[in-house]
Structure 1
């Protein structure tokens, strides 16, 4: 009975924050001081060669060019207002989609008469961007294989940033960019703060993708099979079939990012609740948001526990999964 009493703490399908506050890791409760503000739309970067900049971000990171404007001539008032050199020529602007983060906007000036000397890090308005990766060692190794120079070794965070790894590399034009990763969250999250930092690894979009009943039923069967598979090695290819590589999973124990971490979480659940099995109650959806209702328990009482997974699909695979409990067993006397 001790195991039953501890189920609310041990099972992977735990209580999460109310949907009104968190969906896929997004905190929607913050109130903007300036009316209408939602968040950062894009970050602007000057590059000495626009084609080189676009190719760099596309070929190494998969960022996609979406819009291109220009070249535009700039009059004297424009140059004065935006602190641009008097002898600057035309400007061309490219906007790129940068994965599940802020867009980036590349500015190319012709001719490039601005300074090519990088500002000191402590200069006013000196900036850098950071790219989130689910596997910082693999990303660093890949970039090094492409000739990218790194400025530091991989560093480990501490205190509030415990669990985070970071490293800096240099672009072909001399700017520094950071890689960072915290697949199991940061130290400050242990305090369960009212507001959490935005995390691109947990970002997901509601779309107009539609899935018919046949797909949903097949999907549900695979989901049950994955969570009931006791062999972690055999489970891994099944996970990859229905989960995105950067799956963001949320339950009462916290957040988990990536298939490997989720695989470990399932193994932990099965070790804590031997001979328990999941079974499907029902599944439905609204576009790419899916509600998956389940039972969990031993053969003698298969509906001992029940709950619902709120899932967002991307390309037919799970991108985020938030777990809600509907029923727990009564505490033993």
Structure 2
């Protein structure tokens, strides 16, 4: 059962390299279309008690919550891929990075206009992502008509 509090340790911080790797892997776990592979990636990247606050106001808890939400999003985004947009920034145990969604096959074409633009902010504890906030600056409402119904 989800709790209404999140406990975060302070004082011990991971290296910048670990933090950057985690946020890059956070963005890239959407590249796993097979649910079993995605769940394995989720377990590798995220703490078992992860809380994900998504841009539409929804909140998702634990590995299964991330799997369910990511499956919903991937179903909405068939034919599209996520890619990083710029470098990650790190401050102690917090990292942030921007990402975008483009048609599959155009990930390396930086002239391709993204259909979704956003970013993630995360807090890391014990080399795993403990809290994740995802925000969206722009999205195609025709592409994601049911996005807010999840």
Q: Report how far residue 302 of structure 1 moved.
A: 5.9
Alignment of 1:48-87 (within 5 A): none
Instruction: Return the alpha-carbon distance in structure 2 between the equivalents of residues 215 and 242 of structure 1.
Output: 11
Structure 1 unaligned regions, length at least 5: 1-180, 184-197
CA distance in structure 1 between the partners assigned to 2:58 and 2:120 by the alignment = 15
**1:87 alignment counterpart:** none
Query: Structure 2: where are the runs of 5+ without partners?
Result: 107-111, 144-150
**Alpha-carbon displacement from aligned partner over 1:299-333 (angstroms, at most 9, x marks no partner):** 4546222112111111111111111112234879x
Deviations, residues 267-323 of structure 1 (Å, cap 9, x unaligned):
111111102111112211111111121111214546222112111111111111111
Post-superposition shift, 1:248?
Answer: 0.6
Q: 1:206–1:289: 8 Å Cα contact kept in structure 2?
A: no
- Structure 1 CA distance, aligned partners of 2:67 and 2:13? 28
Which residue, out of 59, 63, 70, partners 1:266? 70
Give distance in 2, aligned partners of 1:262 and 1:221: 16
**C-alpha contact (below 8 Å) 1:296/1:304 kept by paired residues:** yes
**TM norm structure 2:** 0.77
Alpha carbons 1:312, 1:318 under 8 Å: kept: yes
1:266-285 pair list within 5 angstroms: 266-281=70-85, 282-285=87-90
2:45 and 2:93 mapped to 1: Cα distance? Answer: 14
Partner of 1:308: 119
Say how many residue pairs are matched: 135
- 2-structure distance, mates of 1:272, 1:290: 27
Q: Does 1:317 align with 2:120?
A: no
1:228 — aligned with what?
31
Q: CA deviation at 1:221?
A: 3.5
Question: CA separation of 1:311/1:220 partners in 2, compared to 1, >3 Å: closer, same or farther?
Answer: closer
Relative contact order (C-alpha < 8 Å, sep 6+): which is higher?
2
Aligned partners of 2:121 and 2:51: how far apart in 1?
12
Shift of 1:213: 3.7
Q: How does 1:1-333 map to 2 (within 5 A)?
A: 181=1, 183=2, 199-200=4-5, 203-205=6-8, 207-251=10-54, 252-281=56-85, 282-299=87-104, 300=106, 301=112, 303-329=114-140
Aligned-residue Cα RMSD (Å) equals 2.3
Does the CA contact (< 8 Å) of 2:16 and 2:90 recur in 1? no
Q: Which has the larger radius of gyration?
A: 1
